[in-house]
Amino acid sequence: MFRPYTEKEKAKLAEKYTPAQRAVIDVGEEAVTNKHLAYQASARQNHWSLKYYDDLSKIDPVVDHPVRAPYSNTDPNLRLKTDDDLDEDLANFIRNLPENEDSPEADEAWTEFDKKLRLTVGKEEGERNPRSAAAPDLFRPGEANLDGKILRLPSTESKGRTEEAPPALLRLMQMTGFTREQIIALRVKSIVDHRVVNQTRLGKIGKMYYLSVAGNGNGLLGIGEGKSEEPGEARLQSQYRAIRNMQPILRYEGRTIFGDVKGKVSATELELYARPPGFGLRCQQYIWEICKCAGIADLAARVTRSRNPMNTVKATVEALLSQKDPEEIARARGKKMVDVRKVYYAGLV
């Protein structure tokens, strides 16, 4: 089809391409025919053809995804400076100081150094003006936005006064040993709630029932129940009990369970299955919330017989706690256990 390469052109190709690459180029040249040239500039006639005429040389703002300018204030390699980096910055400043350290120039140099001192290594815009997902000019407690200007309103509380924790939270902190920040960082969710009625000699007494699950997303899991005439009190009661009842859950590779386990509470029976990486959580909503709190990412579940929500939650936690640790089994048998996958794949599993 095309004129073959001359010896001079082949010599130039040999300077840039390997023999295998030149062989591929020759095969490609032979594969191009007149038919390809005849149809290369025409519209497609198959089912992938466009419904409108367009040479795709420009971006249509209606049908095409917009191509936005890249962010200039991001740096993927941005890192915090180490002690050695900070010491080096200080040493460079001392070397560049004027001879007379008591002069006004030395004071100005120190002020400038303190102002421009950075805590990260990388693009300066990434530290000075980083990207933020927060909306601009958000209000803070005690602020008002008038004509685009944020004004600080006088606070009714005394300065330096911190909010005291409620008595129930203080008792929880004493019982668990967690700080207030650690408790706030936990994932807590109320997943079952309904109204219950107790018949007494004084009549029917209605209360709200809540079942909550709590976890740190890294192997700790607990459930708690609460019942009270006030919904808010019952919900808080169940959440605090869930935090107090947290127990460690076995996880294989930090993402799934060890083998297949079963759980049974009353008429509810279920089975949990370990799954490979990337499988995800394919189960009903209550088991999904429990796995999220425990930090399990790959799992399948099947609930048979009754699907009562309260019993489903309890059976799931019972199944997770009933896992057998292979290390303990090997230790009881007096043997050493080795994960073959980690041996053959250099631990990249």
* Global pTM exceeds 0.75: no
Single out the residue of 278, 266, 267, 259 nearest to residue 320, CA to CA.
Answer: 259
Both tokens of 141, joined, read 């407690």
CATH class of the region 167-248:
alpha beta
**CATH classification number, 261-331, choose in 3.20.20.70, 3.90.1150.10, 3.30.230.10, 3.40.50.150:** 3.30.230.10
Task: CATH 3.30.230.10 in the chain: give the residue spans.
Answer: 261-331
Average pLDDT, the chain: 85
Which residues make up the CATH 3.30.160.20 domain(s) of the chain? 167-248
**Measured torsion, CA atoms of residues 50, 52, 53, 58, in degrees rounded to the nearest 10:** -80
Q: Is the pLDDT of residue 151 over 50?
A: no
Structure tokens at 130: 């980083």
What's the token pair of residue 213? 């699950």
Whole-number pLDDT of residue 289: 96
> Cβ(275)–Cβ(256) under 8 Å?
yes
pLDDT tens, position by position, 203-252: 999 999 999 999 999 999 999 999 999 999 999 999 999 999 999 999 99
Are residues 175 and 235 in contact, defined by beta-carbon separation less than 8 angstroms? no
Cα dist. 42→29, 35, 58 in Å?
21, 12, 18
Q: Which residue has the higher pLDDT, 100 or 192?
A: 192
Q: How far apart are CA 55 and CA 37, in angstroms?
A: 17
Roughly how many angstroms between the first and final C-alpha of the chain, as a whole number?
50
Using pLDDT thresholds of 50, 70 and 90, give the confidence band for residue 147.
very low
Spatial contact of 250 and 323, defined as CB atoms under 8 Å apart: yes
DSSP-assigned letters across all residues of 201-236: TTEEEEEEEEEEEEE-SSSEEEEEEEEESSHHHHHH
